[in-house]
Amino acid sequence: MNDNKKVPQYELLIDGKWVTPESGQYSTILNPATEEVIAHVAAGSEKDVDTAAKAARAALKVWNGITAAERGRILNRLADLLEKNQEELIMLESMNAGKPIASVRRQDMPAAIDTLRYYAGWTDKIIGQVIPARTDALTYTVREPVGVVGAIVPWNFPLMIGIWKIAPALACGCTLVVKPAELTPMTAIRIGELALEAGIPPGVLNIVTGKGSVVGDAMVAHPQIDKITFTGSPKVGRGIMQGAAVNFKKITLELGGKSANIIFDDADLDSAVRGSASGIFFNAGQVCSAGSRILVHKKIHDEVVDRLIERAKHIRIGDTASDDTIMGPLVSRNQMNTVMDYIDIGKKEGACVAYGGQRVGDKGFYVSPTIFTDVQHEMRISQEEIFGPVASIIPFEDEEDAIRIANGTAFSLAAGIWSADVTRIHKVAHELRAGTVWINTYGYTDVRLPWGGTGESGFGREHGEAALENFTEPKTIWLSLLKR
C-alpha cells in the first residue's frame, strides 16, 4: 500500500448508526501477506456492548413485528447485495485474512450467499405442533426466538462463518450483536452496511469490533444477551462456558479439531493423496476440520509419503491477489510463530520433517507446507491442534488400529476414509468418533447438512434444520376446553 494513501477508519454499527467507540481507540489491521496496514478499526468496550445489547433487545419487537415471509424477503435482498458486491467482498476477505483470492471466489463467497438464501427460505417454515395430549384441552407448541444472540466469529473464515451465524439467527426472529475476530473484521463491517441497505431494521444487526478479552467477555456476561454462538479455540470455549454459567446463558460452541484422514491399502491413491493434501494445506491449514493426521496403512506408507511430498512441492505460495496462488500466509505473526514452535516441538519429539518446516520469505506470515513422518500417536504434534499447514503421517496395522488412533484424541469434529471396500467403509465410519465422516473425499461442507462435534470440538450443530434449534425455544400452550 502506498504510504501516502490514507488508511480508512471504521466505526461500530449500533442501532443502525455508525458510532465512534466509547474508548476513542482504534486497532490496526494488517494484510498478512504483505504486513501493510489496511485499516484502523474501532476498539469496542464493555459500554459499547451494553449499548448494542440494549438496541438489539429493543429491536426484537420490531423484527418480530414483521411477517416471517417479509423477513425472508429481506434476507434474500441481503443475499442479492452480497452477490452484487461480491468482488469487493472477495477482495476484502483475501486482503484481510490472507486467503488466496481464487479460493474465496470458489468457496467462501458462494457459501455465504447460499447460506443466506437457504435460511431466507426457512423463515415461514419454523412451526410448532398440535399434540393431542387430552380430549378436554387443545395442546400445541410454538417455536419462539431465543432473543438477543451474541455471535463471536473466528478469523479463519470471517465472511463465511459470520453468515453461518447471522443468517439462521435472523431467520428465527432473533437480533444480534456480532463480534468479528479482532484480526479480520473487514467483511463483517461491509456486511453491516449491506444489511442496512437491504432493509434490516436498526438494532437488529449490530457489529461491535474489538478484542475478545473485552468485547467477547462483555457479551458473555451481559444479562440482555440470551445466547452465545462461538467458533474458535477450546481454550476460549471453556472461558465462555464458565462465563455463561453465571446467568445460565445458552451457548453453542464449534471448537477445534485434530481430524484423522485414513488411507487404506486398497484406496485410489491418486484421489487419496490429492484429497489429503488439500485437506491439510487448504487455507494454510487454518481449518478446524483440517485432516492434520494422515493415517496410512503400513503397506503403502512410503508410497503415500513420496506422493504427498511431490504434491507439496507443487503448491504455489505467494501473492494472495493472484489467481494462480494456492496457499497464502498464516493470519498473523503470532500464528506463524505458534506453527513454527510446533514444528520445533515435533523435531524434538523425534519426528522427521520429510518436507518443509520453514518460514517462506521475510515479508508476510508464510510457512511452507510441512510433512512429518516417524510420528508416534502420543506426540504433541499428533494430539494438539496446530492450525497450520503441518501434516503428521502415522502408519497403522489394520482397521482396529486405525480406529484406535483416529479416536485417540480429545477432538471429534471430522474424519476421512479412503477405501474401495464398501463393507469396511461403513464399519469404520460408524466406529469413528466424529461429527462428519468423509468417504473417498475430504473437507466438503453444505449449509443443508449439520456441522459440529463433541468433546474439545464443542457441542451443538450449525447448518441445516439443526441450526434452528440454536436460535429458538419451544413453548407449550394449553387451552382448556372444559366449560366453566
* Residue 404: exposure state from Cβ atoms within 10 A (0-12, 13-18, ≥19): middle
Pairing of strands 390-396, 293-297: parallel
> What residues have CB less than 8 Å from 192, skipping those under 6 apart?
13, 178, 205, 207
> What residues have CB less than 8 Å from 341, skipping those under 6 apart?
none
Give the CA diameter of the chain: 83
Q: Which residues are catalytic?
A: 254, 288
189-195 own/partner pairs: CB under 8 Å, 24+ apart: 189/10, 189/13, 189/41, 190/85, 190/88, 190/89, 190/92, 191/82, 191/89, 191/159, 191/162, 191/163, 191/166, 192/13, 193/13, 194/78, 194/81, 194/82, 194/85, 195/78
Instruction: Give the residue among 312, 236, 268, 280 at the shortest CA–CA distance from 417.
Output: 268
Separation between Cα atoms, residue 221 and residue 53, nearest integer Å: 11
Residue 77 DSSP SS3: helix
Number of Cβ within a 10 Å radius of residue 2: 6
The neighbouring-strand residues paired with 327 are: 317
What is the distance of C-alpha 283 from the center of its chain?
Answer: 12
The neighbouring-strand residues paired with 197 are: none
Instruction: Give the residue among 186, 397, 392, 357 at the shortest CA–CA distance from 280.
Output: 392
